[in-house]
Amino acid sequence: MAIDDLQKAEQENGLLSVLDIGKNSLISIHSLCRQIARVCDKYLKQMDDRVAQERQKSKSEKRDTMLSPTGGKTVRMDSKGSGKFGALRGHRFHYGLDWLCTPGQNLVAPFAGKVLRILYPYENDKHYKGIEILQAHLITRINYIEPCVTAGQRVKKGEVIGTAQDVSIKYGKDMNSHTHQEVYVNPEVLILEDNL
């Protein structure tokens, strides 16, 4: 469309002209836009190539998986409820997994990392303990554990970090013995049974 046509269309449609642009200026702007478009196309092609390379690289790399602290894959289900992630607990949701275990059973680090702290899941009950381990951007919290590691200590994936505590002391025999695990990323909960 010629400049005269643009001006005519602008007048016919009642549009206001923001700038009174001469023919040479308009041609220069058009040329500049085409140059910018070429640079953008080149950049987008480079980004597409990099994305394709990363996808290929991630397909060829072996995916590192996380271990359950018990070494098993059985989640608690009993008369007290489900230990699955997202299970309803009254008016709230269960933000973790309850892995079946026996009191005194060795529990292992789900991944290599640094022990952040030993914690107490219940404010008024110092019998039950927990542990937090940091690996890069992940934090795992494991409750109902008698730790054999200390804060600041580095642990390897699969290394024994403590023994399972007996939850029946607090909840009674109707609840199966288990350890509770949560995994956080900045600090959103990120653990799903399918990821283990």
Which pLDDT band holds residue 186 (cuts at 50, 70, 90)? Answer: low
> How far apart are the C-alpha atoms of 75 and 64, rounded to whole Å?
21
Express each pLDDT in 156-177 by its tens digit: 999 999 999 999 888 888 888 9
The structure tokens 């890069």 sit at 136
188: which DSSP letter? Answer: E
Express each pLDDT in 38-72 by its tens digit: 887 887 888 888 877 777 765 655 556 789 999 88
For 77-195, CATH number out of 2.70.70.10, 1.10.10.10, 3.90.110.10, 3.30.420.40 equals: 2.70.70.10
Express each pLDDT in 118-129 by its tens digit: 999 888 889 999
Task: Tell me how many degrees the CA angle 140-123-101 measures, rounded to the nearest 5.
Answer: 45
Letter string b/e over residues 143-164, b meaning 16 or more CB atoms within 10 A of that residue's CB: bbbbbebeeeeebeeeeebbbb
Which pLDDT band holds residue 17 (cuts at 50, 70, 90)? Answer: very low
Mean pLDDT of all residues in 167-192: 78
| Per-residue pLDDT, 57 | 67
Residue among 175, 145, 141 nearest 162 (CA):
145
Map out the domains of the chain as residue ranges. Answer: 3-60, 77-195
Residue among 142, 149, 141, 138 nearest 185 (CA):
138
The residue ranges of DSSP E strands in 148-187, in sequence order, are 154-155, 160-164, 178-185
